[in-house]
């Protein structure tokens, strides 16, 4: 749970930059990758991340620029990336413009429970982290190179003059 806007902004920038790295590695071909016929495609997971920012933040009263929950899945990776950039930037701007530290204690109805806004912001980030992990597996299955987020990815170790960890 966040207790200050500054703390949220610092954390949000770190994690939204990580999500941008993952999204920028997507290709049109990779968007259709999925684990099974019953599961979301890589493109659908990426778009779900984008759509969740305005949907979840909207439950706190924020007016976030970005796609609505019923917006159709874009056909290109670039459109998904642009949707993410718009929603992620808008979230931080709106919080910094309209909230202060005391606002983070206000509770809102979030899916049938009351959550303090500081918790809602933490869950938006945790939700993104969860789906980024799913995306990286599908990216590997699709043959994409996965960029490192919390340290080097397998392909990046050599850039640091090191061998990748043994499998």
To 10 degrees, the CA torsion angle through 56, 57, 59, 60?
150
pLDDT in tens, 22-43: 999 999 999 999 989 999 999 9
Instruction: Tell me the three state secondary structure of residue 112.
Output: coil
Q: Say if CB 123 and CB 56 are below 8 A apart.
A: yes
CATH code: domain of residue 112: 1.20.120.450
167 inside domain: no
CA–CA distance, 55 with 66 (Å, rounded to integer): 9
For residue 166, what pLDDT band results from cuts at 50, 70 and 90? confident
pLDDT in tens, 112-164: 999 999 999 999 999 999 999 999 999 999 999 999 998 888 888 878 888 88
14 inside domain: yes
Global pTM value: 0.93
93 inside domain: yes
pLDDT in tens, 81-104: 999 999 999 999 999 999 999 999
Residue 144: what pLDDT? 95
- Number of domains into which the chain is organized: 1
Instruction: Tell me the three state secondary structure of residue 148.
Output: coil
| 57: containing domain | 5-160
Residue 154: what pLDDT? 84
74 inside domain: yes
166 inside domain: no
165 inside domain: no
């Amino acid at each position: 749970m966040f207790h200050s806007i500054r703390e949220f902004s610092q954390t949000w920038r770190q994690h939204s930059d990580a999500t941008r790295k993952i999204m920028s590695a997507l290709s049109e071909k990779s968007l259709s990758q999925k684990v099974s016929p019953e599961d979301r495609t890589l493109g659908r997971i990426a778009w779900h991340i984008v759509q969740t920012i305005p949907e979840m933040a909207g439950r706190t009263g924020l007016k976030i620029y970005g796609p609505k929950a019923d917006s159709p899945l874009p056909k290109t990776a670039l459109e998904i990336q642009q949707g993410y950039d718009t929603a992620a930037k808008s979230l931080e701007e709106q919080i910094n413009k309209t909230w202060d530290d005391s606002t983070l204690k206000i509770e809102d109805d979030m899916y049938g429970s009351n959550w303090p806004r500081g918790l809602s912001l933490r869950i938006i980030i945790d939700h993104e982290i969860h789906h980024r992990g799913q995306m990286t597996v599908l990216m590997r299955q699709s043959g994409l190179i996965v960029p490192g987020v919390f340290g080097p990815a397998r392909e990046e170790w050599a850039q640091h003059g090191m061998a990748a960890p043994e499998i």
